[in-house]
Structure 1
């Protein structure tokens, strides 16, 4: 599947705030935007809410942060979805 570049303009203060929230959630802004597009398609609508003020004991967020740290430690943090699926298929085979 081919990748495409999506660009849009936003106010700098909004971008800075969004980056800060994403960092608190353990992801970067690009990952968040990819998640939004993927879920929008899956649910055929806006499917979820993620809030900073309710993540302190959130097991899902802790698991995402741990997975992100492990991926970075193993040099696989920048794998594409196709590469991830290929790894899973190879492991199952």
Structure 2
């Protein structure tokens, strides 16, 4: 089977800490990423629970999104951040999302 390279942007400190732990477990990042990909294929899902902690503040959520986007070299304007906050507070998130998408497609 042909192999390909996968590049992942991550915090250098996180990579180093995870590598140390994985080495202690007798494995490495490459093997764990391959295990993750196989589990995604087999389960047709993310093989672990993905959720936000109940004590994650709105500011922390916004900062996390902002940091993640900056890692991908995508910047959020103050207007973008305000939209995120409005979405977070919206009672009907789907309706809010549809409204924003409609405004975006009109522009």
TM-score by length of 1: 0.46
TM-score between both structures, scaled by the size of structure 2? 0.41
Structure with higher Rg: it is 2
